[in-house]
Structure 1
């Protein structure tokens, strides 16, 4: 079998050897990288170092020029080039097709990761979005930051039960309407008794 592979390789033209070399080498690297990622041993730190060296503020959450994207580019470049070459295209046309295919897979990867990141970000509650919103007291809130109570408040479209404190001189009883003034320690709402007793709608 080894002899037949050697014979096959020797009969390839130089251009074909380049395409096969790129396809096989980078496909192997891609498979190893994917295996490490699935096993939890992904070498992200190496990728991160490379990203930092060429990091540009282009407005994208995920950088275009990374080691992972380079591997994906050349993997697609190799196989698309082989497909184009054996499909009857000339060398220049083959290189062009391979380049476009490699670039396309990188762009798609960046766009998908960027979209997934935005979905995760939009689903993560930002407490600062609760400032100036109104809610109702679920568990009474001791006066003058004497303890922590609970409030029900609608933040980012969802009803939440969140810890709250107050600077008010009197405790805020359960069921009272409150307004959020600011955030304490990035985790606790600082609230005050709402001045108006209008009905609060969820």
Structure 2
């Protein structure tokens, strides 16, 4: 292994520096995702997937029309392709790093190898976004009730601005479905992407109210 590393030039080592940690993170994400989807309670993952927390408090009922509209509203998760997710960026670096290193080691022109690496990484990011979009879309149907999210733990997917000024997004498992749902917070500071949160209420028909966990 040491001899192989010493045989790399500076650019090849640069690609390797990117590829190795990105691949490790990608594998960890895959394992944690599989573990998370196989459990239905009492586990929180430090990625964009979180497992159900404990208990769902009673809250006021919403109308049948509102409940039926929830699936249509949140199916908008698939309406826009979110390329720059954590998974997408990791896929970009992992695939781009290995492709670049492979082409350089095969004797490909350095400039061309860099371009091919960037193209492969970008393609991986797009494919990751498409897969996530399709997967999330399949999770929604008319029976989804955001009231059941109260008390659950989730992970911030898009930063949640402070004092309900704007909405962000959280990812959690709701009714055994991986979901991304609009969220606001009463906190005076924004809750950054990747932070763990607890759902404490529902605002309107489909927006969760969250606060930092712990």
Q: What TM bracket, shorter-length normalisation?
A: 0.3 to 0.5
Query: What is the TM-score normalised by the length of structure 2?
Result: 0.45
Query: What is the TM-score normalised by the length of structure 1?
Result: 0.47
Q: For the pair shown, which has the larger CA radius of gyration, 1 or 2?
A: 1
* Greater relative contact order (Cα < 8 A, sep 6+): 2
